[in-house]
């Protein structure tokens, strides 16, 4: 069987990729077996991670209120974007082996979480992004429930339902797919995060024109896009998917004993 046409088509797709995507693919090809893998034990940490998110968000609200959404959906999307870019910049680097660190390969999120013990570590960025994603869905759920354009503080009442749904989805998928999400190690796990984020960006940065009384969406306005997107697998599904993968990552690292579950900035173990 001649597979030359298929190979040519694949190579043409690779040639069209941007440099960041090519770096990710190169790292995935060099992925190594993960001896620290704890199998399915991460499932026992999901609820604790979700509870820490709820607690952290409610604590933050007491200090900052709903400032995260005061400037609308564009600013909220850029908040997500800045956090993702910070995560990818950190994970894309190489951390050299030293007396204090086992080092970390580019794009291996598990190795980076183990190696990064700074005062403002990678785990904090992962928690922050996961919580921002929860805020976005909570706001949209609260708006739909009350039929309002802005829920005020109503989004606070949606966290528990969202957390329960995330855990139920993960547990249901585990029955069908097992722990396939991490079988390619930390690099493969990061690639899944990156694909979800890339889909969100592609969708939210595309303007949707209003048509036949159906509202459109401005470029970068995540709230407008979530309202306008009526697809069977819409932007909200990508937001949930990314949040659930971020939940899995912290649960896995907790199972390995590499992070202490808690609210943001309290994961220091002195390592």
Q: Model confidence over 205-251: pLDDT tens digits? A: 999 999 888 889 999 999 999 999 988 899 999 999 999 999 999 99
Instruction: Answer for the pair 87, 125: CB distance below 8 angstroms, yes or no.
Output: yes
Q: Averaged over 120-135, what is the pLDDT? A: 95
Q: Averaged over 125-130, what is the pLDDT? A: 97
The pLDDT score that the predictor gives to residue 96 is 87
Boundaries of every domain in the chain: 49-255
Q: Which of the two residues, 99 and 202, has the higher pLDDT score?
A: 202
The pLDDT score that the predictor gives to residue 59 is 94
Instruction: Answer for the pair 114, 241: CB distance below 8 angstroms, yes or no.
Output: no
What's the mean per-residue pLDDT of the chain? 89
The pLDDT score that the predictor gives to residue 153 is 96
> Cα separation of 30 and 73, whole Å?
39
Kindly report which listed range (10-24, 45-59, 103-117) carries the lowest average pLDDT score: 10-24
The pLDDT score that the predictor gives to residue 270 is 37
The pLDDT score that the predictor gives to residue 266 is 46
CA–CA distances in Å: residue 234 to residues 35, 208, 237, 250: 36, 13, 5, 25
The pLDDT score that the predictor gives to residue 34 is 61
pLDDT band at 42 (very low <50, low <70, confident <90, very high): very high
Q: Averaged over 1-24, what is the pLDDT? A: 73
Q: Averaged over 19-34, what is the pLDDT? A: 64
pLDDT band at 27 (very low <50, low <70, confident <90, very high): low
Q: Is 95 helix (H, G, I), strand (E, B) or coil?
A: strand
The pLDDT score that the predictor gives to residue 199 is 97
Q: Is the pLDDT of residue 17 over 90?
A: no
**Which residue has tokens 């984020």?**
197
The pLDDT score that the predictor gives to residue 148 is 97
Instruction: Answer for the pair 43, 171: CB distance below 8 angstroms, yes or no.
Output: yes
CA–CA distances in Å: residue 191 to residues 22, 23, 26, 159, 216: 12, 11, 11, 27, 31
Q: Model confidence over 154-190: pLDDT tens digits? A: 999 999 999 999 999 999 999 999 999 999 999 999 9
Q: Is the pLDDT of residue 116 over 90?
A: no
Q: Is the pLDDT of residue 268 over 60?
A: no
Checking 37-41 for CB contacts under 8 A at 24+ apart, the result is 37/182, 37/185, 38/252, 38/255, 38/256, 39/179, 40/174, 40/178, 40/179, 41/255
């Amino acid at each position: 069987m001649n597979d030359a046409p298929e190979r040519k088509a694949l190579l043409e797709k690779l040639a069209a990729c941007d440099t960041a995507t090519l770096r990710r693919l190169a790292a995935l090809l060099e992925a190594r077996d993960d001896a620290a893998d704890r199998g399915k034990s991460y499932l026992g940490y999901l609820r604790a991670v979700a509870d820490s998110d709820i607690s952290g968000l409610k604590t933050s609200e007491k200090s900052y209120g709903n400032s995260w959404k005061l400037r609308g959906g564009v600013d909220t999307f850029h908040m997500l974007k800045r956090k993702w870019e910070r995560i990818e910049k950190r994970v894309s680097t190489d951390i050299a082996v030293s007396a204090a660190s086992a080092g970390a390969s580019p794009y291996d999120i598990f190795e980076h979480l183990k190696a990064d013990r700074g005062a403002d570590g990678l785990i904090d960025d992962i928690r922050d992004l996961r919580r921002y994603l929860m805020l976005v869905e909570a706001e949209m759920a609260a708006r739909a429930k009350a039929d309002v354009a802005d829920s005020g503080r109503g989004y606070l009442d949606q966290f528990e339902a969202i957390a329960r749904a995330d855990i139920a989805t993960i547990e249901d998928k585990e029955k069908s797919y097992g722990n396939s999400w991490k079988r390619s190690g930390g690099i493969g796990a990061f690639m899944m995060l990156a694909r979800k984020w890339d889909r969100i960006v592609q969708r939210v940065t595309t303007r949707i024109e209003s048509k036949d009384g159906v509202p459109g969406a401005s470029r970068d306005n995540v709230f407008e896009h979530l309202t306008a997107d009526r697809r069977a697998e819409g932007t909200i599904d990508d937001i949930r998917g990314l949040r659930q993968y971020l939940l899995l990552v912290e649960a896995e690292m907790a199972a390995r004993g590499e992070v202490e579950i808690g609210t943001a900035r309290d994961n220091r173990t002195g390592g």
